Amino acid sequence: MQLVEPRPNRAIPIRITPLIDVVFILLVFFMLTTRLLPVDYLELANNTSSRSPVTGEPLPELTVTANGDVRWQGQPVALDRLVTELSEAGITEVNLSTTGDTPLGAFTAALSALTDSGIDTHWKRTNATTP
């Protein structure tokens, strides 16, 4: 006499819905309890009292053209000559922009040459005009 019925030979399906619920609960828990940045090392310096409200003279505008030359004061100048002229003039900070057809390599070469010579270079981003 058999008291327990034998199990069928087919596989019992695993229900995934409770597992997905647990994973989402864990995800929300870790997202809420984790800090993305170490707050102990975050330094905020909002002291602007030493700065003057007058900005002084504007920074020189340099524009990299499609052929790799850089325009300064409306005239194209070779990159190596430009670095020398800027250093001799005592200029330590410039704004660098590009024309719409300037290749990335020309921009990178100009930016690297200026930065390597100790000139603080700010990229002035301009929107490309579509014809």
Number of domains in the chain: 1
Residue 15 lies inside a defined structural domain of this protein: no
Residue 103 lies inside a defined structural domain of this protein: yes
Phi, psi for residue 23 in degrees, rounded to 5: -65, -45
Q: What pLDDT is recorded for position 131?
A: 45
CATH code for the domain in which residue 92 is found: 3.30.420
* Residue 120 pLDDT greater than 90, yes or no: no
Q: Would you call 125 exposed, middle or buried from its count of C-beta atoms within 10 A (0-12, 13-18, 19+)?
A: exposed
Phi, psi for residue 29 in degrees, rounded to 5: -60, -50
Residue 3 lies inside a defined structural domain of this protein: no
Confidence of residue 22 (pLDDT cuts 50, 70, 90): very high
Q: Are 111 and 105 in contact (CB under 8 A)?
A: no
Residue 101 lies inside a defined structural domain of this protein: yes
Residue 19 lies inside a defined structural domain of this protein: no
Q: What pLDDT is recorded for position 9?
A: 77
pLDDT in tens, 38-68: 655 555 555 555 555 556 677 788 888 888 7
Tokens of 64: 């990299």
Residue 41 lies inside a defined structural domain of this protein: no
Give the span between the Cα atoms of 14 and 23, in whole angstroms.
16
Q: What is the mean pLDDT of residues 109-116?
A: 87
Q: Which domain holds residue 90?
A: 61-123
Residue 105 lies inside a defined structural domain of this protein: yes
DSSP of 52-64: -S---SPPPEEEE
The answer to pTM > 0.85 is no
Residue 75 lies inside a defined structural domain of this protein: yes
